[in-house]
Structure 1
Amino acid sequence: MKNGIHPDFHQVVFQDSSTGFKFITGSTVNSKETITMDDGNTYPLIRVEISSDSHPFYTGKQKTTQADGAVDRFNKRYGLK
């Protein structure tokens, strides 16, 4: 790899704004905000609106449409008699 053309890869903390869930991961994103974690180290803080802690797919609280009722209503209105 060429030197000086790649962004700096470092440890950052991502925090879910809706639940407060925090996790440390590597990223090239920079931030002016910092946070001190339980391990005593200070990391840049990136706030995100949704993460695996609040996304409906991962929490199991996703809305499912009741297709059976919609199909029955459609057949009742427009179905062949």
Structure 2
Amino acid sequence: MKENIHPDYQPVVFMDSTTGFKFLSGSTKKTQETVEWEDGNTYPLIRVEISSDSHPFYTGRQKFTQADGRVDRFNKKYGLADENAEK
């Protein structure tokens, strides 16, 4: 391997912005923020928008889209009545 071409690999705390869930992992990403971890040491903090704590696949809470189609949603949004619909 070539010398001095690889980034520094260090322990980093990742924090989910939506839930506040934190986990310690290794990363090469740099940040100015730091946080004190459970072991008493201070580590760089990287904020992420989504993690296994908030992702619908892992939590089982998925958003389901409406059953009606695009045209029906457009008509509802703009107040257009369906000519074939019962009154």
TM norm structure 1 = 0.77
Residue number in structure 2 paired with 1:53: 53
- In 2, the alpha carbon distance for the partners of 1:18 and 1:32 equals 20
Q: Which runs of 5+ in 2 are unaligned?
A: 70-87
More helix by share: 1
Structure 2 residue 24 is matched with structure 1 residue 29:
no
Counterparts of residues 2-81 of structure 1 (less than 5 Å)? 2-64=2-64
| Amino acid paired to 1:49 | E
Structure 1: 5+ residue runs without aligned partners? Answer: 71-81
Three-state SS of the structure 2 residue aligned to 1:58 is: helix
SS at match of 1:43: strand
Give the secondary structure class of the aligned counterpart of 2:57: helix
CA offsets 1:36-68 (integer angstroms, 9 cap, x no match)? 01101110000001000000110000134587x
**2-side partners of 1:33 and 1:10: how far apart?**
14
In the alignment, the residues of structure 1 paired with residue 24 and residue 36 of structure 2 have an alpha-carbon distance, to the nearest angstrom, of 11
- Residue aligned with 1:15, SS: strand
Partner letter of residue 53 of structure 1? D
Distance (Å, rounded) in 2 between the aligned partners of 1:12 and 1:21: 14
- What TM-score comes out, normalization by structure 2 length? 0.72
